[in-house]
Amino acid sequence: MKNIFILGITFLAFSSGLFSQDYIYLRDQQQRIAAKNISISATEIWYEDYSSSEGHLYSIKPELVSLIAYENGEVRVIKSRAKDMNTYDFKKNLITYHLSDLIISNFTMSYERILQSGKLGIQIPVSFGYASGTNFGNNVLISKFYSGVYVNFYPNGQGKVRYLLGPGIRIGVGHDNHNSNSQNYTDTFYGKLLINNGVVFSPIPDLSLSAVLSLGIRYYPEAVSYNKDVRTTAAFTFNLSYRF
């Protein structure tokens, strides 16, 4: 239907020779604006009322306009930005504080870069653990430090509410606390392969709250408590992000 409308306007322009003035056609196809001195930018279409001699400038958003038909017969189609109307003109850097990691005595922050499309982000976490061996009992590996990289896919782009899904790799060093004596522990390397699923809510463009559930596998090659097994793992984080 839209293509037929555009073809009809184009045919009218060339079959009638010249319009008597420029016309701005709105996307609802119910209205057109007689205009002159039209100027187009990425965020606004500026024009003067054809019937006015005062030279007052008016503006309209490009996403509301389907095409412009000029008096010389030229027709310019305006690409739709309707899919972006409910999204922010988003900033591409995020610093995130992982609030819920405090429960397990970790101080964790991360940096994420959102790529141009808004549908892909690369996130790097950094975490420092400050728990003692007695905080969690025996046979527990307590993280001292970890980092890694997450790849976050945003199927619906960047908006007030968005869903993320993607893989992540985490590597770190921890205490393998395998005895009731808090001093009897082994420092060991560990690695995790995760799939992250989360929901992000941005009440204002610069701040976000997110909840992320991570599922995957973990491997402690030197941990006494885990007998060098590969095991399943899960984690939940609640986060606060600042966007800049």
43-74: pLDDT as tens digits: 889 999 988 888 889 999 888 898 999 988 88
Q: Is the same domain home to 12 and 35?
A: yes
Where does a domain end: 26, 56, 84? 84
Q: Which amino acid is at 119?
A: K
Q: Which amino acid is at 184?
A: N
Task: List Cβ<8 Å contacts ≥24 apart for 126-134.
Answer: 127/98, 127/101, 127/172, 129/104, 129/105, 129/174, 130/105, 130/106, 131/104, 131/105, 131/106, 132/182, 133/175, 133/177, 133/182, 133/183, 133/184, 133/185, 134/182
Q: Is the same domain home to 56 and 100?
A: no
3-state DSSP assignment of residue 242 = strand
Q: How confident is the model at residue 111, as a pLDDT?
A: 98
Each residue's pLDDT tens digit, 87-146: 456 789 999 999 999 998 899 999 999 998 889 999 999 999 987 655 555 556 778 899
Q: How confident is the model at residue 231, as a pLDDT?
A: 85
DSSP, residue by residue, 175-197: EEE-SSSTT-EEEEEEEEEEEEE
Cα gap 148→146, rounded to integer Å: 7
Q: Is the same domain home to 109 and 225?
A: yes
Q: How confident is the model at residue 222, as a pLDDT?
A: 66
Q: Which amino acid is at 44?
A: E
Domain that holds residue 27: 2-84
Q: Is the same domain home to 99 and 79?
A: no
Q: Would you state the structure tokens that stand for residue 165, as one six-digit string?
A: 């899904």
How far is CA 122 from each of CA 146, 212, 214, rounded to the nearest angstrom? 17, 15, 16
pTM of full prediction above 0.85? no
Q: Is the same domain home to 21 and 128?
A: no
Q: Is the same domain home to 145 and 102?
A: yes
Each residue's pLDDT tens digit, 7-51: 555 545 444 444 568 999 998 766 889 999 999 887 889 999 988
Cβ-based burial of 73 (10 A; exposed 0-12, middle 13-18, buried ≥19): middle
Q: Is the same domain home to 217 and 197?
A: yes
Structural domain tally of the chain? 2
Each residue's pLDDT tens digit, 163-183: 999 999 999 998 766 554 555
Q: Is the same domain home to 62 and 137?
A: no
